[in-house]
Structure 1
């Protein structure tokens, strides 16, 4: 073991915190599980549908695709299925219990994350501080609370950050076997594993700086120990079906200009109060009324997390979880522990037993009232029921939001949520047709791809144009989708000769 400076032994958790911890962990996990199970917006993103379709493709072919099997416009185009394990799990859950299975799977991932955050925070901050910190951390995940791979990978983010923080508390690098197992799982679940690799770097720098300030410690072994850990972590992230491409993919993705047109990649808007704002208000209040001391390197990490959250709305989730874990000990030292919690029983086994019963009851409640997928902004369920099979096999021009549900329904879309595969030029041409910034863009797309029908949201500017274009007729409309059919579409059942 390197001769690193051993930090002072952490103070034992206050009695009130030890008493509170089991109840906070179990109740927090239960609340998180219940929210996901009965959250109506969990399937509001079209990507959920094509992820399940991709998982079913993997189950059927016993392989991970490296070329697109779904799109009409990019068929057999190279595609990095970097979330293959999440897709496999989602498809398996769907095959077992339909949508209820998907909700249970994502609910368990969210509950596990909440439980880990609550356990870590409760050991370092007492009473009200632990409760508020955990609640705010989980609230920051709500804008991204969707049945998608990033939610399945959230426990990995929490476990990885906790391992780094515990390593710094003990004065060593993280234990390779357990932490690298997390990285192996994470790299196959979701591309956010790259953030985990990046997060290890400032903790390594902090460890080396601390060892340099201690005359009895040698910074060289510390640097070697952490350097070896980062190299092993990076090597572990390569153990995926995509190898080097899987490692490079997240870095290529964030540089793609077409992401600017996707809602979750846009800057956080303040037209309505965002959960991160509540967290910032709470931190500001504590900082103004108490002495909160955060090491310089970690303060830079927190500033970087805030920048990411403001730059991309989806990163509120990362900022909330990682930020709460980093701030747990500074807040615990700054806030006086609430003495009113001393009467809370400390027995963990009764809490665990009661929590298991409650989890089972919640699951039964969900399955006894099966989730039925109805029309929503990402799923034009009723509209597709009115599309004859002969028409469904012909080239379609669809909205970006509908692409995932088309794939799920066995229809090859013009475009779907895999912006990384379609590329900037294709996305720009598609957007020009949708918003009519170029009135000839749609005509060029029709000519090039032989479009014979469209399915678009009623508010799309292109819908109004299609209502007036010669050769196009409106076949169906509801509050979610409008379908137009081209005069040159193959004869449909019941159509006039």
Structure 2
């Protein structure tokens, strides 16, 4: 009877649930600080135009110098959602919507990690991700794409870990992502790298067939990404942004990470490097490639720190499980409950001070 009573909280309390609730509460505590981005009102204004006209913009109608020139908004769905939230609840609407989306992303991440890792290791990874990503918790379309990005990479990595082929239920996620934010192109690029990782996990005779099946999946995902009001032009929009060249350096979020002052990003990187050197973590070749790629993106452009924070734990989950053990090997009552209490205590603190 006593044992049943002590296990009762663990049955209804889950790490993903506690993580999501605490991140959501912490972000709501930020309040107006999530509206600090100068583009927020413009995002809402574009969304209002979309709702009012029941159409997406195809020419520039908001600037003086380029008015009437061809222009598309690959994040039209996020902008429409923000405009709708604003019409319902004023400025609180977009804040609540953004907080819910970010909380969902962290809850998904917690769910994926807790199935593989010691709860304490999961807690460390979640706090590290939160510390890196928190400066970018703003009312912007990328926030609404976060849970979709996490779910997409979770699906690919889980499939690669077992040497299989992704489910064809994943491409609808790509369609949603392509209508929320231009970062969907990165999700397409990941297919190739993770396919090679999956290939290296099977016997040589099966590799060609496995790669062919991943190739078919990639084609389906590519087609799914074109299911937008702009069709394949959404893909070209990403290329046009990258072709801005030196002009990108004038945009703060596209500048390299700034290490002139010590911050959470640098601290987490140094602690992570120290932990790897101390524990001797060994990674498969393609996981090394993915890790270095994510690090390069985050160092080259501050806006990609959130991508690193959310995706690197997923990429490293398999090797970490092999090194530190799986969650299934651990008790699920007292120790688990204490870890979740730690999440409840620390997540809002980091979110508010981030």
TM-score (ref. length: structure 2): 0.87
Structure 2 contact 132–306 (Cα < 8 Å) conserved: yes
Counterparts of residues 429-448 of structure 1 (less than 5 Å):
none
Q: What do the CA deviations read for 1:302-351 (whole angstroms, capped 9, x no partner)?
A: 0011111111011110011110111123223323679996533989xxx9
Report the equivalent of 1:474: none
Q: What do the CA deviations read for 1:53-94 (whole angstroms, capped 9, x no partner)?
A: 011001110100101122222221111111100000000000
Q: Does 1:253 align with 2:253?
A: no
Gaps in structure 1 of 5+ consecutive residues = 1-15, 356-361, 363-497
Report the equivalent of 2:179: 188
Report the equivalent of 2:132: 140
Q: Does 1:343 align with 2:333?
A: yes
Question: Match for 2:39 among 47, 57, 63?
Answer: 47
The alignment partner of 1:74 has SS state of coil
Counterparts of residues 110-121 of structure 1 (less than 5 Å):
110-121=102-113
Structure 2 contact 101–146 (Cα < 8 Å) conserved: yes
Q: What do the CA deviations read for 1:122-180 (whole angstroms, capped 9, x no partner)?
A: 1111021110011111222112111000000011110011000111123211101x211
Q: What do the CA deviations read for 1:420-452 (whole angstroms, capped 9, x no partner)?
A: xxxxxxxxxxxxxxxxxxxxxxxxxxxxxxxxx
TM-score (ref. length: structure 1): 0.62
Report the equivalent of 1:365: none
TM-aligned CA distance change 1:112 to 1:229, over 3 Å: same
Report the equivalent of 1:234: 222
Q: Does 1:263 align with 2:252?
A: yes
Counterparts of residues 66-105 of structure 1 (less than 5 Å):
66-105=58-97
Greater share of residues in helix: 2
The alignment partner of 2:182 has SS state of coil
Q: Does 1:207 align with 2:198?
A: yes
**For residues 234 and 145 of structure 2, what CA distance do their matches in structure 1 show?**
15
TM-aligned CA distance change 1:21 to 1:275, over 3 Å: farther
**For residues 186 and 22 of structure 1, what CA distance do their matches in structure 2 show?**
30
Shift of residue 252, structure 1, vs aligned partner = 2.1
**For residues 163 and 47 of structure 1, what CA distance do their matches in structure 2 show?**
32
Gaps in structure 2 of 5+ consecutive residues = 1-6, 349-354
**For residues 254 and 341 of structure 1, what CA distance do their matches in structure 2 show?**
49
Segment of structure 1 superposing worse, 69-78 or 306-315: 69-78
Q: What do the CA deviations read for 1:166-214 (whole angstroms, capped 9, x no partner)?
A: 11123211101x2111101000000000000011111111223333xx2
Counterparts of residues 316-335 of structure 1 (less than 5 Å):
316-335=305-324
Structure 1 contact 20–127 (Cα < 8 Å) conserved: no
**For residues 340 and 239 of structure 1, what CA distance do their matches in structure 2 show?**
44
Structure 2 contact 118–330 (Cα < 8 Å) conserved: no
Counterparts of residues 290-439 of structure 1 (less than 5 Å):
290-335=279-324, 342-344=332-334
Structure 1 contact 25–115 (Cα < 8 Å) conserved: yes
Question: Match for 1:222 among 201, 210, 213?
Answer: 210
TM-aligned CA distance change 1:342 to 1:173, over 3 Å: closer
Q: Does 1:154 align with 2:143?
A: no
Larger Rg: 1
Number of residue pairs the alignment of both structures matches: 329
Structure 2 contact 115–326 (Cα < 8 Å) conserved: no
Segment of structure 1 superposing worse, 90-99 or 41-50: 41-50
TM-aligned CA distance change 1:344 to 1:182, over 3 Å: farther
TM-aligned CA distance change 1:224 to 1:345, over 3 Å: same
The alignment partner of 1:315 has SS state of helix
TM-aligned CA distance change 1:337 to 1:200, over 3 Å: closer
The alignment partner of 1:172 has SS state of coil
Q: What do the CA deviations read for 1:103-125 (whole angstroms, capped 9, x no partner)?
A: 11101100100000111111111
Structure 2 contact 281–323 (Cα < 8 Å) conserved: yes
